[in-house]
Structure 1
Amino acid sequence: MLFMAYCGVAIEVGNYGGGYHYYDLSDETLVLFRKMCYVATVLYCPMALLVKIALLSIIIRIFSPYKNRILFIYVFLGALCIYYIIAEIVKIRMCDPVPAYWKQDDPNASCLDQRAALIADSVISVVSDLLILILPLPLTWSLQMSRNKKLRVIGMLSAGGLATAFSIYRLILVLRDGSSPDMTIVFTCVIMSGNAEGGVGLICACLPSLNIIITKMRNHSYKSRYYEQHASSVQLSRVRGNTNKGISQSEPENNGLTSDESHLISYAGAVERSHMGPRGGIHKTVDVEQTIEMVDGTESEPRRSNL
């Protein structure tokens, strides 16, 4: 919802002079433009925080058995929450009084340095996105699976780090043009880069669940084709007078969720094991011996059974 609201604000910024030079716009249009910029500034912090929480929670859920390594992610996540809460309060009170942010005609008003706030946001975004990109590398490489599967899992879990490119672009933009008076162009680019960063992060956060849906649909389609072909073969055998009553029925193999990569992705998507097909693991046959003591004190012969 926050991302959709941020996208809506980006559209409104374009309707109120975004992308035009400030000297080509009227004072009324500039006031409306600054109002939209204020709304975008306030929405950015909770949107960015929730996207990063979604990406980091996938890594935490997959590698939860590695307590010592996951502890660092929890500490990092807590630091992000503290920063974005403080940054949100600062941005809400960027000017005192608040309407001075877009009116800019009150001689008694005082405003904080917006360029410094944008630089801080950009630096935190670059650092956090780089960590999201790098964190799955050592965690996944320690798993017992083939190199190709490791690379596929790393690629999926690190996809959220692609937002780093937009964070770096925004940081360069703010450092280079943050003091420019032509903020109708500069701030529009800042909003669009934040829009791209949030969109890429949300898409990457949905990849594990999307993989589960695609795998289930593929397995369902495969089973449907199998049973249709099997039913048609049974009908054909009856027409030909086939008297063979022993028709072998075998279930199609569940190829979708038995690999290590699929198990990791399914675990990230919170899929129950009961819906993941046959269980894996180690199976062992155990001999159980039972001795029954009768009332008269005699013992019956021991019985053995295999479990």
Structure 2
Amino acid sequence: MAIANLQPLAYAVAYVTFFIGLTLVGLRAYCHIKFLKTWRWDDLWATAILIFIIGQQIVLHMFLYWGCGLHMDTLSPVQQYNIGVWLFVEEVVYYAVHWIIKMSFLAFYLRLSPIPTFRKLIFFGMVLNAAIFLTNTLTAFFQCVPFDEIFHPGTHPGAVCINRLALLVVPSVLNILEDVYILVLPVSTVWNLQMTTRRKVAVLSVISFGASAVIVACFRLIPLLELYGSPDVSWALGKMVIVASLEIQLAVVASNLPSMKALWLHMTSESANGSGGEQSGSKGYKLSSMERKGAGSRFASHKRGSITMMERGVMSTESEEELTRVALSTSGSKVAAEG
């Protein structure tokens, strides 16, 4: 028997994934404020994601409220009209969510290496990200002239609109290409570090967890193509709610996952040492700090293409822990665990 209602599944996926993403953003902020006592630019971007994913969740909820996940012929004209309105809103919100998540990744990358070429590639990624966001947003607003043709298609005889297939697919493809760029960007830098292959794989696994979001984003093209080719818009959008929820929240998890290393170390250290083990517990989450010997330059020489020095302070991620260890062995700096 064919499924006639996608709404229960869509509601479940949308809200379960939303609360997972919401929890991780909150845990990241709590970890950095309470334990690590640090607040950097990438933390600011990651926290700002909270506002955007709430906006995204409101749009997805309104999709379902007006009947997405049900077949179009079962909906009233009012429901069909409101679905069209929220589809336009989703276009803009979806682009904004992608923009800020990518900025969070790129801001984090700036802390991985002082190598000029690597940093230039990061800044290029930021410019590209902004350009894609601006292009997609302007395309959404100017997809039809006059503007009202978006909400009342066919009611303006002289209306000019962008090809609907291009409007649906091109922005998603651009976002996927930018995602791939961000994923591969740190691979060469990390792989050239003087560490075991196992540790390199561990570092890259943390950084590249976002690949799962990219894979889901590719699957999002399926309901988008169905949205183009089928008059059953509400049914196709019900599928899109499910895929979009998974895609966005997996990206949120990926952007916050590295910071969970410090929280995990703190929790396991407290569990092992009891409430009285404050000193050893602090060693669990304050992974390392760096002190320079002598007067020297801020960064050591970039020998063999490895990362030689990262900013002074507490390292809050698995990748930073590994990178710092290599950096100190290369530059001759001293590592002291903070107690």
TM over 0.5: same fold?
yes
Does 2:124 correspond to 1:75? yes
Structure 1 residue 189: deviation in Å? 2.7
Query: 1:138-187: per-residue Cα shift (whole Å, max 9, x none)?
Result: 22111122222211110000011211111111224434652322222223
Does 2:162 correspond to 1:112? yes
Letter of the 2:78 partner, please give it. Answer: E
Query: 1:197-253: per-residue Cα shift (whole Å, max 9, x none)?
Result: 21111111111222112223333444546659xxxxxxxxxxxxxxxxxxxxx9799
Does 2:268 correspond to 1:218? yes
Q: How do 1:25-104 residues align onto structure 2 when only pairs under 5 Å count? A: 25-63=75-113, 65-104=114-153
Q: Is the 8 A contact 1:21 1:184 kept in 2?
A: yes
CA distance in 2 between partners of 1:47 and 1:255 (Å): 33
| Residues 2 and 258 (structure 1), Cα distance of their counterparts in 2 relative to 1, 3 Å cut | closer
Which is bigger in relative contact order (C-alpha 8 A, separation at least 6)? 2
Does 2:266 correspond to 1:190? no
2:205 to 142, 145, 155: 155
- Compare 117-126 and 168-177 and name the one that shifted more: 168-177
- Compare 99-108 and 217-226 and name the one that shifted more: 217-226
Match of 1:244 in 2: none
CA distance in 2 between partners of 1:177 and 1:251 (Å): 56
Which of the two has higher C-alpha Rg?
1
Q: Is the 8 A contact 1:137 1:154 kept in 2?
A: yes
Match of 2:250 in 1: 200
Q: Root-mean-square deviation (CA), in Å?
A: 3.4
Which 5+ residue runs of structure 1 have no aligned equivalent? 229-249, 285-307
Structure 1 residue 116: deviation in Å? 0.8
| Residues 178 and 104 (structure 1), Cα distance of their counterparts in 2 relative to 1, 3 Å cut | closer
SS in 2 for 1:158: helix
Q: Sequence identity, in percent?
A: 21
Match of 1:133 in 2: 183
| Residues 22 and 66 (structure 1), Cα distance of their counterparts in 2 relative to 1, 3 Å cut | same
Letter of the 1:45 partner, please give it. Answer: Y
Query: 1:29-85: per-residue Cα shift (whole Å, max 9, x none)?
Result: 11111111111112111111111111222223223x222123222212211211211
Q: Is the 8 A contact 1:167 1:197 kept in 2?
A: yes
Which 5+ residue runs of structure 2 have no aligned equivalent? 1-50, 290-306, 335-339
CA distance in 2 between partners of 1:213 and 1:255 (Å): 9
Letter of the 2:117 partner, please give it. Answer: N
CA distance in 1 between partners of 2:275 and 2:153 (Å): 68
CA distance in 1 between partners of 2:85 and 2:282 (Å): 59
Letter of the 2:121 partner, please give it. Answer: F
Q: Is the 8 A contact 1:9 1:39 kept in 2?
A: yes
Match of 1:146 in 2: 196
Q: Is the 8 A contact 2:101 2:252 kept in 1?
A: yes
Q: Which has the higher helix share?
A: 2
SS in 2 for 1:103: coil
| Residues 97 and 195 (structure 1), Cα distance of their counterparts in 2 relative to 1, 3 Å cut | farther
Structure 1 runs (4+) deviating above 6 angstroms are 250-253
Structure 1 residue 98: deviation in Å? 3.0
